[in-house]
Structures are given as structure tokens and as C-alpha cells.
Amino acid sequence: MNINHINNFQKPFFIGIAGVGMSAIAQYLQGIGKEVSGSDRYFREGEYNATQNQLEAEGIQCFVQDGSGITENTDLVVVSTAIEDTVYEVKKAKELNIPIIRRSELLALIAKSKKTIAVAGTSGKSTTSAMLFQILLDAGLAPSIISGAGLTSIIKQGRIGNAFVGNGEWLIIEADESDGSVIQYTPDIGLLLNVDKDHQEIDELMDLFSTFKRNTKNLFIVNQTNTLSQQLSANTEHDFGFEKETAKYNATNFTQKGFELRFEVLGQTVKMNAIGQHSVENAVAAIAVAHQIGVDLKTCAKSLENYEGIYRRHQILGQKNGIWVIDDYAHNPAKCAASIKACQPLADKVIAWFQPHGYGPTRFLRNDFVEEITHALRPQDEIWMSEIFYAGGTATKDISANDLVKDLQKKGKNAFFVEDRNDLLHHLKPALTGNAVLLLMGARDPSLEAFCKEVFDKL
């Protein structure tokens, strides 16, 4: 069977359904009437799993990863880039002649079935998608979203929060450059937030985003504040920026007081519970798209004032003994630097902790991490790191987070290494005095949320 339309299947099975990208698409398909099921290596017989519980609450049947969920009735098997052909369930699907499709290919099929807004860039995709979703929702457009992170407003309903099916015509998706899938989408509106070195070299990224631009059917909107994304501008009358007069949607008069920021766009004042210039850029991007499809600026501003944020993006865990503790998903050089800078107006001192993920990515971005963090840190600020998160596989372990720390020390920065993150608080406590922010950064490690909460609890 040729899978070239979402009407070509009814009973898809997801291998690795607990992953954030997979669970979002699974929920969306269940929401439009498919009979979705899936398995995950984290599911155990008789053992509670929060994600499994939330998926089953949506009507999605979950299985342990032993092949029992794939039957003759399964008409499509969905795999992520992490699933290899040697996995037993993949072999079983092939034996039963069930079509197998990658997650990104399936997302592209879904996008073709709706009027789609694809949000691209190396930073801020999830946040901007969530802001735009909230604006369109408040404007009465009943949008759908397939996101890379849970929206707090949806999480509060007891759901995973990374997908929502509305009955309107617009669908918001993230177009990911890390696996090259950004070039598979042909959206009605393409939004490019920024281009910074992350998973690939700059030349490769520019090629990917250039193709994304060509594939966009109607509006292509870019951030003129970012030097590289500005090079791909199609029409400055659609673009946005921060203190960038050439952009139509130009954020001006920016102020941040505590956890509230204010700015103006085309004479409209916007107030938000957020921090940092990057938050302003994301918000103006969402405003630019919404306004271009007919939402007035007053509605945009009112919606953003009530925007509740997304999971692990500058998530405030609380304050103890004068110390604010913030959990953030920052994991590439530009994101880490932006996260540190965003916290600086909050306190006299920022103490940042970072757990790099993957030996290959850390090796590839070593110099960029050092340069970006060096420029972000004030003389009184500190950066602490623990050893690189290892997810398994055949990685060459020829680099340590301590190598980055030593590089930063050579730059004259207050940089420290604590190999085991469980020893972090013991070493940190003498530095946690007075008016300070403790910023905890990292990604990909599913135990980070629990770790950050534990640090706050023991503070």
C-alpha cells in the first residue's frame, strides 16, 4: 500500500511512542479519529509510567516493546530516527508487509492535509509555536498544534501537552533542522526564527533553510535581528525583529522588570510573564504570523499577556533564601548564552549549571560553547558543569565537560566542574548567598526534570 495521504491508513502503530515527537503525532492522529497504538522501551508490564498513562487516557493503546502490539490489523508502522532496522518490531512489521514510515515523513503528510504554519530555526521553535497557538486560539480560529514541548495550558488538563486538535483550518508544526526533515514540508506559511551553529555547520543549515524557503507556498517570514536568517528574507513587509527598523514587526522600547517584560510593536504595547530578548523575538514572530492572517494586534497582545509558557523553558521552580531556581531546556551555545543573559536582570549574580548531552555534539560545539558562554557571563557570574549525558550507543568518549570548563577558566571565567551532578549542591552551597539565580540547563536526559526539582527541594 502506498502511504501518500493520511486517509490511506486507520490503525497506525508507533515504535517509541513515548518520545516527545512521536507522542505528539500519535495524539494528533487519535484526535482526528485514527485507532492509534504503540510501544516504548520505557514501558514495563505492571509498572506505572506517566506518559503511558496519559496516552492511554487519550484512548491510545500502549504495549511493552515485544512485538505483541503489531498484528495483521496494523496498517502502518511509524518509527523515529532513533529506531534501527534491527529492532524486533521493525522486523515483524516487514514480515507482515506493513508499510513503515519515519516520524518526519508522517508529519509532512499531516501538514499537507491542513493549512500549515511551519516554525523553523535553531532556537525557539517550541516557544514560538506555543505563543502562536495561544494567539490563534484566543482569536477564535480553533487551531491545531503538533509541538516539540508540552504547553503549560494543556499540561494543566492532565495531558502531555504537545498536541491539540482544533476544528479550525490552521495547523502549527515545528520544522526540525537537526534531522534534515525541515526540507520535507511545503507549508502555507514558513517562519524562520534564527540560524546558529547547532547540529550542523552553518553552510549545511543555510542550504536546509534555503530549501525550506523555496518549499513555502505563500508567506515566508524571517527574523531580521539574526544575521544569517536575514539573508533569507523574502519580503521585509512580512519580517520581524528586535530594534530592527527595516522589519515591519519591530519590537521597540523593551524593558524587563523581574519576571515581566514589555515592548511595543506597531504602536501596540505588549506585556508578558517571561524574561529575555529571545522571548521578545519569539513573541514578535508569533505576532507577525497572526497579524498576517488577520488577527488584530490588540488580540495578540491580550493573548500573550495570559500566555503560560511551555515545559522546561525558563520554568520557575521557586525561590528559597533569596535564590531563584530556574529549569531550562537550553542545550546549544546560542541557547545557553541567551538563557544566562535573560536571568541577569533578575539578580546580582547568576549561577548557571549545564549538563551537555552527547559526546559528538559536545565535541562539535566545544569552541562555540566556550565563546558564547564567555561573552554571556558577567564578572560575578559562575558556570558549573557536570559530565556529559550519555544515552547509549557507540560514542567515542574522548571529551569531557571538564574540557569546556578548563577552556572557560583560561578565558578568566568563574567555571567549575562537578563530575557527578548529585554532588552539585554540596559544592554549590557556599556560593548560594545573597541575591542570586540558580539556572539549571540541559536537554535530552529524561531525568533532568526530577533532578532540577530535587535541587530546589534540597536548597
- Output the domain CATH number for residue 174: 3.40.1190.10
Which of these three, 255, 278, 306, is where a domain ends?
306
Burial class (CB in 10 A: 0-12, 13-18, 19+), 412: exposed
Q: Above pLDDT 70, what percent of the chain?
A: 98
What integer pLDDT is reported at residue 2 of this predicted model? Answer: 67
**What pLDDT does 311 receive?**
80
Q: Which residues contact 420 (CB under 8 A, 6 or more apart)?
A: 386, 387
* Shared-domain flag, residues 122 and 55: no
pLDDT of residue 127: 94
Query: Looking at residue 1, what is its pLDDT?
Result: 55
Please state, in angstroms and rounded to a whole number, the distance separating the CA atoms of residues 174 and 151: 14
Same domain (yes/no): 69, 208: no
C-alpha–C-alpha distance, residues 17 and 30, integer Å: 13
pLDDT tier, 310 (very low <50, low <70, confident <90, very high otherwise): confident
Q: Is residue 3 part of a domain?
A: no
Residue 275 C-alpha from the chain's centroid: 17
Co-location of 390 and 319 in the same domain: yes
pLDDT at residue 218 tops 90 = yes
pTM listed for this prediction: 0.85
Residue 2 domain-assigned? no
107 found inside a domain = no
Task: Please check whether residue 355 lies inside any domain of the structure.
Answer: yes
* Residues 279 and 397 occupy one common structural domain: no
How many Å apart are CA 118 and CA 294, to the nearest integer?
17
Distance CA 122, CA 73 (A): 39
Residues 70 and 123 in one domain: no
Same domain, 187 and 296: yes
Q: Which pLDDT belongs to residue 334?
A: 86
User: What total of structural domains would you count in the chain?
Assistant: 3
Residue 264 sits at φ, ψ, to 5 deg, of: -125, 145
Look at residue 106 and tell me if it is in a domain.
no
Question: Pick from 224, 217, 235, 170: which is nearest to 192 by CA?
Answer: 224
Residue 75 sits in a domain whose CATH number is 3.40.50.720
Residue-level pLDDT at 199: 64
Which regions of 124-243 does DSSP assign to beta strands (E)? 144-146, 163-164, 170-174, 189-192, 219-222, 240-242
Band of pLDDT at residue 191, cut at 50, 70 and 90? very high
For residue 389, give the DSSP letter: B
Q: What is the mean pLDDT of the chain?
A: 93
In a domain, 7, yes or no: no
Amino acid at 406: K
With respect to residue 5, please indicate whether it lies within any of the assigned structural domains. no
- Burial (CB count <10 Å: 0-12, 13-18, 19+), residue 221: buried
SS3 of residue 35 by DSSP: coil
User: pLDDT band at residue 443, thresholds of 50, 70 and 90?
Assistant: confident
Residues 6+ apart with CB under 8 A from 377: 340, 350, 352, 383, 413, 414
C-alpha span between 178 and 365 (Å, rounded): 14
At residue 103, the pLDDT reads 93
pLDDT above 90 coverage of the chain, percent: 77
Q: Is the pLDDT of residue 28 over 90?
A: yes
Name the band, by pLDDT with cuts 50, 70 and 90, for residue 145: very high
Q: Does residue 119 sit in the same domain as residue 93?
A: no
Residue 359 lies in a domain: yes
Q: Are residues 233 and 379 in the same domain?
A: no
Compute the average pLDDT of residues 312-325.
87
Q: Hey, what amino acid is at 56?
A: E
Cα–Cα distance, 224 to 17 (Å, whole number): 37
- pLDDT tens digits for range 82-132: 677 778 999 999 999 999 999 999 999 999 999 999 999 988 999 999 999
Based on the fold, state whether residues 191 and 223 are members of the same structural domain.
yes
Domain with 66, as residue range(s), is: 12-101
Digit-coded pLDDT (tens) for 392-417: 766 788 999 999 999 999 999 999 99
